[in-house]
Structure 1
Amino acid sequence: MLQKFKNHLLRNFQFLNGKKILLATSGGKDSMVMVHLFRQLDYKIGIAHCNFQLRGMESFEDQNFVHEYATAHEIPVFITQFDTKAFAEDYKLSTQVAARELRYNWFYELLETEKFDYILTAHHADDNLETFLINFSRGTGLEGLTGIAEQNEKVIRPLLAFSQDEMEEYAGLNSIQWREDSSNASDKYLRNKIRHHLVPMLKELNPHFLSSFNKTQTYLQEAQVMVEDASIMIYQQVAKQEEDTIYFDLIKLKKLPNYKSYLYQWLKEFEFSAWDDIYDLVESQSGKYVYSHEFRLLKDRDSLILSPINFVNEKEEYFIAEDQKEVKIPLNLSFCKVADINNVSNKAIFVDADKLQFPLVLRHWNEGDSFQPFGMNGKSKKVSKLFKDEKLSLIEKENLWLLSSDDEIVWIIGLRQDERFRIDDTTKNILKIQL
């Protein structure tokens, strides 16, 4: 196995040569085999061990075992302890998910503080098979069937090409000592049920099952790459991004024979889970939306609009004094006296300064707001009607600010000035307000 492992590294992970690598080591057979292999190949290694304090004294015996091994072989060792159960309760996580978050957060800290280049874990081919079967049993898309990735950024799994049998044989031939995790014998967890009962049955039905599975995984991974390539090509035709907001053209989207699959590919990274609700948005009325933890997908006429959640505080107000020349929050506005009107645009207005009552107020619009649009000879109009005429989306409405004087709207900023503050023949002081 050592020569096969050496060839595997040269073929797939040659970039590890000369790098400083951190081996995640539980003290179990798989991680101790990984440490032994890298010791034989003279890599620059360190060992990282997490004590999750989930198995009483057994957890501390694992910790001592790893520490003594590293010390005996003069390997730099880093050990930490976690109150995993308390963390899981505080953040409403399962114990397994809590342990994973704690482990990888600490690993990445070690990369920074101890200047390691990569984190290596001892996942092998049987682990990959178990993960496939877990995902398959719970219902998953193609991505969930492609198994454990050999590399995710700085995390590398160099043993995925090797079976549990190969690991056991290598450990026996090299008299490798390890700690047995008593929880591995329990059928409490789904992974253990699959490991103890389903996988042996599959291997009994087909002695070459693991080899056949590895081929299937390769085909699935190749298919996933094709899906991602097609997804990128179609995205460029259907989506348009403006700053942190993405607009999906529904007319183009609905012409696709399988648009739900494309929506899934594009939106999964934003941690949506209510997929049926998302698919229903396509045919829903405007104004309907679906939330993920940090994002909102909004149906607006012929578009789906994806944006970060922006919880607007309708009571939020900012006051501007008469002598103030500029404001920077919540948006950049400048105020200056000018002799005449020039460069008129929706980004600047010119008002009669003597008609203003200070302090001016910057605020969001409210239902019932009305104003007198510039050029309409004093006729009143609801702000909500202007929004409808301008075909503004909910997100655009939320992001608009009003500038008011003594409860009268001076400017719907970037959109329309109020008639009441316009310059006329009697104006003596012209104030330019610019966005």
Structure 2
Amino acid sequence: MVSLKQSFQEFIVKQRLFSRDQRLLVSFSGGPDSVCLAYLLKLCGYSSLVLLYFNHGVRSKEDCQKDINFVNAFAESMGVKSIVKSIPVVFVSKRFGLSIEASGHYLRQALLMHYAKLFSCEAIVTGHHKDDLDETAVMQLLRGVSFSSKLTSINREGRIPVTRPLLSFSKTQILDYLHDNKLKYCVDSTNEDVVFTRNKVRHELIPLLKEINPNFSTCLTQTFSRLDTFQDMLYSSLDEKVSVFETETYFYCDMKGVLGRSDSALCQVIYDCVRLVFSRYLNSSSLKGYLSSQFDIPYSSVESIAIKLKEGDSGEIIMLPKGCRVFLYDSCVYFLFDSNKFIKKEKIKLGTYVEFMNYSICIERCDEVLEEYRSGENVAFFSSDSEDFFVRCVTPEDFFIPFGRQSSIKVTQYLAKQHVNYCQRLFFPCVVVSEQVAWLPSLCIHDEFKVDKNSDSYYKISFHSLTNPTKHMLSYK
């Protein structure tokens, strides 16, 4: 019979997780899983270990100190380095609207990567085992997440791989091994508290499902394996490149190239676009951004966007997490976050360039009579008795008289007739004189501000875009 130690080593070699000459950061709680993990690593010749313990601060100081003493004593007996760090789980839970469980999970993920870099470790090792696969799968089903993202033996998404060499072993095997080798470990009382969702799944729901179907674990694994295969097929069937554009005020992606695809393929592309947009907006490279970006996108939301796209709808269609409003216009999906922070205005001084959002604007007084006062895309001429000039975004209350017309019209209505989409209308700049809209860049001058030979004073406006939208590509080739 193959020993657990031999199976453990064979799994590491077969999965190519890490080698004996690499320095490893072990996520170490002092519980049975991490004790078994650290002991087996040392026993198999992986001697360059750093044990990292996180104090979550949700238990009594006395209980936490007992665990810390055990961690330090265990590390000393193994001849390896131990590190103890406190993490503000309760604060993060309140600050970012996450559960205590989720806060601890995401903080550990981010800080494991941080300390792995700090201590020059080449791989992160965690004690996830076979039973954790079932729990994760059931949790995904309960949350209704969009696509399968099960635990794997190695995750190479970050600069330092996260490895899970115990995934082929059950909790029972781990406990039996600890008993046979007379290894002590800590017992965290919070792991038994069914107030926490994962504990309720572990101690109540999964045992009930196994009572109904003794082969539940096998069936669940097979189901998620089929989902992964289906997702791989979707990716392999997509050969388009989807562009996601990032402006200062919103994001948008053109879906014309994938509208003819199946509903499942279209949903996959939309899901990928949403994830990219949120990662850019929330700046998930920072710890604050990373914590803010941890949420599930319900599959129903992805389906709603896909259905409305295929039906050719326009306008606002759905709200996503983090206050993101989704709009459709001409087969493009627009993502708009907090629009209020962009509403402002800037004073324009004569002869001085002013930067407003993504534009540079300058107004100059014309002292000489010009032969022609034709406005263009980036230049306009207007007359005015006042030099109270501002640039701001248009508002729903703005009216103006388009050049050559007699009656006024709402500015937003005029922009819509010029095929300016909803998101662009929210942030469309205008030059105002004494609170009256005088010019809509690239479109039209207010008729009352037009220049003619009888004008006493007239001005030239120069208007330029500072940068083009940033383009991100989603490639499925």
TM-score, normalised on structure 1?
0.80
| Match for residue 326 of structure 1 among 345, 348, 353 | 353
Q: Given the superposition, is the C-alpha separation of residues 336 and 39 from structure 1 closer, same or farther in structure 2, using an over 3 Å criterion?
A: farther
For 1:208 and 1:281, the matched residues in 2 are separated by 40
| Match for residue 59 of structure 1 among 64, 88, 111 | 64
Q: Given the superposition, is the C-alpha separation of residues 150 and 356 from structure 1 closer, same or farther in structure 2, using an over 3 Å criterion?
A: farther
Tell me the equivalent position of 1:358.
Answer: 387
Q: Deviations over 1:164-187 (max 9, x none)?
A: 243234434443321123344555
Q: Given the superposition, is the C-alpha separation of residues 431 and 167 from structure 1 closer, same or farther in structure 2, using an over 3 Å criterion?
A: same
User: Secondary structure in 1 aligned to 2:182?
Assistant: coil
How many equivalent residue pairs?
Answer: 426
Q: Given the superposition, is the C-alpha separation of residues 173 and 341 from structure 1 closer, same or farther in structure 2, using an over 3 Å criterion?
A: farther
Q: Is residue 121 from structure 1 mapped to residue 121 from structure 2 by the alignment?
A: no
Shift of 1:18: 4.4
User: Secondary structure in 1 aligned to 2:8?
Assistant: helix
For 2:205 and 2:64, the matched residues in 1 are separated by 28
Letter in 2 for 1:298: F
Q: Which structure 1 segments of 5+ residues have no match?
A: none
Q: Deviations over 1:110-129 (max 9, x none)?
A: 23443434332110111112
Tell me the equivalent position of 2:289.
Answer: none
Q: Where in structure 2 are the equivalents of 1:356-435 lying within 5 Å? A: 357-374=386-403, 376=404, 380-425=408-453, 431-435=460-464
Letter in 1 for 2:347: F
Q: Is residue 5 from structure 1 mapped to residue 18 from structure 2 by the alignment?
A: no
Tell me the equivalent position of 2:81.
Answer: 76
Tell me the equivalent position of 2:37.
Answer: 34
For 1:212 and 1:228, the matched residues in 2 are separated by 25
User: Secondary structure in 1 aligned to 2:148?
Assistant: helix
Tell me the equivalent position of 1:182.
Answer: 189
Tell me the equivalent position of 2:93.
Answer: 88
Letter in 1 for 2:5: L
The question of whether the paired residues in 2 share the 8 Å contact of 1:295 and 1:306 is answered with no
Shift of 1:297: 0.8
For 2:372 and 2:124, the matched residues in 1 are separated by 61
Higher relative contact order (Cα pairs below 8 Å, separated by 6+ residues): 2
For 1:209 and 1:297, the matched residues in 2 are separated by 39
| Match for residue 317 of structure 1 among 329, 345, 366 | 345
The question of whether the paired residues in 1 share the 8 Å contact of 2:234 and 2:265 is answered with no
Letter in 1 for 2:381: V
Letter in 2 for 1:32: V
For 1:61 and 1:162, the matched residues in 2 are separated by 28
Shift of 1:221: 2.6
The question of whether the paired residues in 1 share the 8 Å contact of 2:148 and 2:224 is answered with no
Q: Which structure 2 segments of 5+ residues have no match?
A: 279-295, 465-477
The question of whether the paired residues in 2 share the 8 Å contact of 1:20 and 1:117 is answered with yes
Q: Given the superposition, is the C-alpha separation of residues 202 and 101 from structure 1 closer, same or farther in structure 2, using an over 3 Å criterion?
A: closer
| Deviates most, 42-51 or 251-260 | 251-260
For 2:147 and 2:318, the matched residues in 1 are separated by 23
Q: Deviations over 1:347-405 (max 9, x none)?
A: 422425x636223111222334333434x266644423321211222101012111022
Tell me the equivalent position of 2:318.
Answer: 290
For 2:269 and 2:226, the matched residues in 1 are separated by 23
Letter in 2 for 1:242: F
Letter in 1 for 2:324: F
Letter in 1 for 2:36: V
Shift of 1:250: 7.6
Tell me the equivalent position of 1:348.
Answer: 378
Q: Where in structure 2 are the equivalents of 1:130-141 lying within 5 Å? A: 130-137=135-142, 139=144, 141=146
Q: Where in structure 2 are the equivalents of 1:88-237 lying within 5 Å? A: 88-137=93-142, 139=144, 141-143=146-148, 146-147=150-151, 150-151=154-155, 152-153=157-158, 154=160, 155-185=162-192, 187-196=194-203, 214=221, 217-230=224-237, 232-233=238-239, 236=241
Q: Deviations over 1:273-314 (max 9, x none)?
A: 4627656755596433322215321133x4352224141468
Shift of 1:418: 3.4
| Match for residue 265 of structure 1 among 246, 265, 271 | 271
For 2:105 and 2:246, the matched residues in 1 are separated by 33
The question of whether the paired residues in 1 share the 8 Å contact of 2:136 and 2:151 is answered with yes
For 2:398 and 2:100, the matched residues in 1 are separated by 52
| Match for residue 253 of structure 1 among 232, 255, 259 | 259
| Match for residue 334 of structure 2 among 297, 306, 319 | 306
Q: Given the superposition, is the C-alpha separation of residues 19 and 320 from structure 1 closer, same or farther in structure 2, using an over 3 Å criterion?
A: farther
Q: Deviations over 1:91-111 (max 9, x none)?
A: 443221222233233323323
Letter in 2 for 1:253: L
**Percent identity of equivalent pairs:** 20
Letter in 2 for 1:363: R
Letter in 2 for 1:360: F
Q: Is residue 47 from structure 1 mapped to residue 74 from structure 2 by the alignment?
A: no
Shift of 1:420: 4.3
The question of whether the paired residues in 1 share the 8 Å contact of 2:253 and 2:273 is answered with no
Shift of 1:334: 3.6
Tell me the equivalent position of 2:283.
Answer: none
Q: Deviations over 1:218-270 (max 9, x none)?
A: 4443333223444x546x4xx55333522454897387455774476346635
For 2:68 and 2:113, the matched residues in 1 are separated by 20
For 1:209 and 1:93, the matched residues in 2 are separated by 30
For 1:31 and 1:206, the matched residues in 2 are separated by 30
Shift of 1:61: 1.0
Tell me the equivalent position of 2:293.
Answer: none
The question of whether the paired residues in 2 share the 8 Å contact of 1:228 and 1:265 is answered with no
User: Secondary structure in 2 aligned to 1:143?
Assistant: coil
